[in-house]
Chains A and B, each alone.
Chain A
Amino acid sequence: MIGDILTVAWKEWLEFRDQLLRLRRGGLSALVVLVMLGIFTPIQMGPLWLTSPLMLGYWPLLSSGMVSTLIADAFAGERERHTLETLLASRLSDRAILLGKLVAAMLYGLVFTLANVVVGVVTLTIVHWGEGLQAPAPSHVLYLFSLVTLACSTLAGIGVFISLKASTVRQAQQTLGIIMMVLFIGPVLFIQLLDGDARVSLAARLTTMGTGRIVAWACATLALLSAILIAMGMARFRRGKLSLD
């Protein structure tokens, strides 16, 4: 089972990699993003870039955004390019196919964050030459990657679900785009809607909770959400239905 999941993930990776290496479409934008986020932003923000708790919200959102650009392709793309039925005619179980695609998309989001953080650390260390290695605290790293992993798996869960239903990649991308917008803008709107007092008390509550507890709560929520989404995706994934479309 694990082997089968990895087999599917391996294939997905080869296809992503091909896209990235070609420097067209996904590739070029990934490079631009890397330069922007991994080099310019750290230079501008200085060491705060590594330690600010804000980054704990920033990276999960960004990396799950990257996941969303890929995951739309998962099933809609295979259907569009007429490879889905052959895949379904293989010995792979429904579960292995679904999870393989999820794992690949999640890994992509993780690697994206990791690459940026590494480049950022190197950039900051060079800029602040003589002050030693500029690296975030271990707890910060733990928080960051837990959140990124779960945010990516949540988004991959949403994406797989949409990709299963969509008949074209474009359609899946549009739906996901709208969902991403809601996810990005929703929290901002929510805070704006609160009146002054509520905002202050929310800030106070968050401050007393401390970063560790907030992260733990966020992780628990995301984990629950992605578990539900993945379960829904599995329930929806019916070989007979899919191959006919």
Chain B
Amino acid sequence: MTTPAIHADGLVRDFGPIRALDHLSFEVPAGIVFGFLGPNGAGKTTAIRTFLGLVDPTAGSARVLGYDTRREGDRIRERAGALLEHHGLYERLTAEQNLDFAGRIWRMSPGDRRARTRELLEQFGLYARRREAAGKWSRGMKQKLAVARAVFHRPPLVFLDEPTAGLDPVASAALRDDLAALASGQGVTVFLTTHNLVEAERLCDLVGVIRNGKLAALGPPSTLRPRETSTVRVSGTGLDASVAADVSALPGVLGAAIEGGELVVHLREGERASALVSLLVARDVGIDEVRRDRQSLEETFLELVHEDGDR
């Protein structure tokens, strides 16, 4: 049995009257990309701070890489990399100096620091501008630099608080690829937070949805994938009100109507569309397409986040 990268056990953190984390218990196996998904103020950033030992839990405990966050925070910080809420770059220093500082902090040799700077900045397409003050870079460029700094010393565990915030779609996709490669190729555990469902789905092996400091769902992203609804849409020729009326009469059909030239059929939950299709063929309808409506990602997310018990 390998130790899980993160093991949270009944974590509670209060800020005065606000309960930022509410009995949070879950486990992140080593070597995966874990996505922490939740709306603003859900407690994602607080969770990361707690795991890094920067904030002590009010109750409960967490072990990160096998170390207790309360007592052994320094061991955790020694082995982790982090991109927190703010990028934390020194804007008066150049990009190169910012990375060099990270390398010195983690006691990398000068040669290694140079090579790593080149490797990471080239990967992000920023190497040519390494001598510019970081403060003069665009928001997205700073964000990339901050990610580079977080992984600079090749930590086995990386915390990334909204890493793709401020990145354009192309850059986000590229960063996702890099993070995926990091996890699969080098066995690094990535713990990231995001508001973005698509991102969570594309990148993460495991996703936790947090809401009001509580874990609302935990599982592989397929569990988040949009669910099929019981609405079927048919397009084609020969669709008219009389066809709709006949379809409505079929067993298992709750209702049917013509909307925008399409036949929209509401089936009973779990019902297949075969009887419907047979009828349409018998009525000589020229069928172009039969498709089932899917819930949008957004709807799924909203459902998870607002499920009953919301306080």
Chain A to chain B: the 4 pairs with minimum beta-carbon distance, closest first = A86-B88, A82-B86, A91-B78, A7-B104
Given the complex, which residues of B lie within 8 Å of A7, measured CB to CB?
Answer: 101, 104-105
Instruction: State in angstroms the CA–CA spacing of A93 and B78 once bound together.
Output: 10
Chain A interface, DSSP helix/strand/loop, else mixed = helix
Q: What is the distance, in angstroms, from B155's C-beta to the closest C-beta of chain A?
A: 10
Mind listing 14 A-B residue pairs with CB under 8 Å? A7-B105, A14-B90, A14-B92, A15-B90, A15-B92, A82-B86, A82-B88, A83-B89, A86-B84, A89-B80, A90-B106, A91-B74, A92-B105, A243-B54
A19 near B: Cβ within 8 Å? yes
Q: Of A15, A81, A82, A90, which is in contact with the most chain B CB atoms at under 10 Å from its CB?
A: A90
Which residues of chain A come closer than 8 Å to B54, judged between CB atoms?
A: 85, 88-89, 239-240, 243
Task: Decide if A114 is an interface residue (CB 8 Å cutoff).
Answer: no
- Interface assignment of B73: CB less than 8 Å from any CB of chain A: yes
Chain A residue at minimum C-beta to C-beta distance from B56: A240
Q: Which residue of B lies closest to A16 (CB)?
A: B92
Q: Which B residues fall within an 8 A CB radius of A?
A: 49, 52-56, 73-74, 77-78, 80, 82, 84-93, 97, 101-102, 104-107, 133
Nearest chain A CB to B199 CB, angstrom units? 22
Question: Measured between alpha carbons, how far is A14 from B91 in the docked complex, in Å?
Answer: 11
Decide: B93 and A18 in contact? CB cutoff 8 A: yes
B56: A residues at CB distance < 8 A: 240
Pair B104/A10 contact, Cβ less than 8 Å: yes
Separation in Å of the B3 CB from the closest CB of chain A?
20
Is A239 touching B73 in the complex (CB atoms < 8 A)?
Answer: yes
Give chain B residues whose Cβ lies under 8 Å from the Cβ of A93.
Answer: 74
How many Å lie between the Cα of A15 and that of B101 in the bound state?
A: 12
Min C-beta distance of B187 to chain A, whole Å: 20
CA of A165 to CA of B74 in the docked complex: distance in angstroms? 23
Chain A contacts to B: CB under 8 angstroms? 3-4, 7, 10-11, 14-15, 18-19, 81-83, 85-93, 239-240, 243-244
> Closest approach, in angstroms, between the C-beta of A10 and any C-beta of chain B?
7
| Cα distance A241–B239 in the bound complex, in angstroms | 69
Asked if A3 and B107 make an inter-chain contact with CB atoms under 8 angstroms apart, the answer reads yes
**Does the CB pair B93–A15 fall under 8 Å?**
yes
Partner of A14, one of B52, B84, B97: B97
Q: Point out which of B49, B77, B88, B93 has the most chain A C-beta atoms below 10 A from its C-beta.
A: B88
Task: Determine if A89 and B52 form an interchain contact, defined as CB atoms under 8 angstroms apart.
Answer: yes
Residues of A within 8 A of B102 (CB): 90
Across-interface contacts of A15 in B (CB, < 8 A) = 90, 92-93
Q: Which residues of chain A come closer than 8 Å to B133, judged between CB atoms?
A: 18
Question: Do residues A85 and B88 form an inter-chain contact, with CB atoms below 8 A?
Answer: yes
Evaluate contact between A86 and B55: CB separation under 8 angstroms. no
Q: Closest CB of chain A to B144's CB: distance in Å?
A: 15
Q: Which residues of A have CB within 8 Å of B104?
A: 7, 10
- Distance between B96 CB and nearest chain A CB, rounded to angstroms: 11
Contact A14 B82 (CB under 8 A): no
Give the residues in chain B near A81, CB-CB below 8 Å.
90-91
Min distance, Cβ A147 to any Cβ of chain B, angstroms: 32
A75 to B232, CA, bound (A): 62
Shortest CB-to-CB span from A224 to chain B, Å, is 31
Contacts of A243 in B (CB 8 A): 49, 54-55
Inter-subunit contact B55/A240 (CB<8 Å): yes
| CB-contact partner of A11 in B80, B101, B106, under 8 A | B101
Q: Which residue of A lies closest to B48 (CB)?
A: A89
Give CA–CA (A89, B48) in the complex, Å: 10
A86 near B86 (CB under 8 angstroms)? yes
Asked if B97 contacts A87 (CB within 8 A), the reply is no
CA distance A89 to B93 in the complex (A): 19
Task: Determine the distance from Cα of A92 to Cα of B53 in the docked complex, in whole angstroms.
Answer: 13
Residues of chain A with a CB closer than 8 A to B55's CB:
240, 243-244
- Alpha-carbon gap, A86 to B52, bound state (A): 11
Q: In this complex, what residue of A is CB-closest to B88? A: A86
A88→B80 CA distance, assembly (Å): 12
Considering the chains assembled together, what is the distance between the CA atoms of A89 and B149 in angstroms?
12
Cα(A135)–Cα(B106), bound, Å: 44
Cross-interface CB contact of A19 among B52, B53, B85, B92, cutoff 8 Å: B92
Q: What residues on A are CB-neighbors of B77 within 8 Å?
A: 89-91
Q: How far is the CA of A4 from the CA of B101 in the complex (A)?
A: 11
Chain A residues with Cβ below 8 Å from B80 are 89
Contact B106 A91 (CB under 8 A): yes
CA distance A83 to B101 in the complex (A): 13
- Rounded to whole angstroms, the CA-CA distance of A155 and B89 in the bound complex is 28
Cα distance A18–B77 in the bound complex, in angstroms:
29
Write out the residue numbers on chain A whose beta carbons fall within 8 Å of the beta carbon of B74.
Answer: 91, 93
Inter-chain CA distance A81–B93, complex, in Å, is: 13
Q: State in angstroms the CA–CA spacing of A182 and B172 once bound together.
A: 55
Q: Is A89 a contact of B84 with CB atoms below 8 Å?
A: yes
B89 surroundings in chain A (CB, below 8 A)? 83
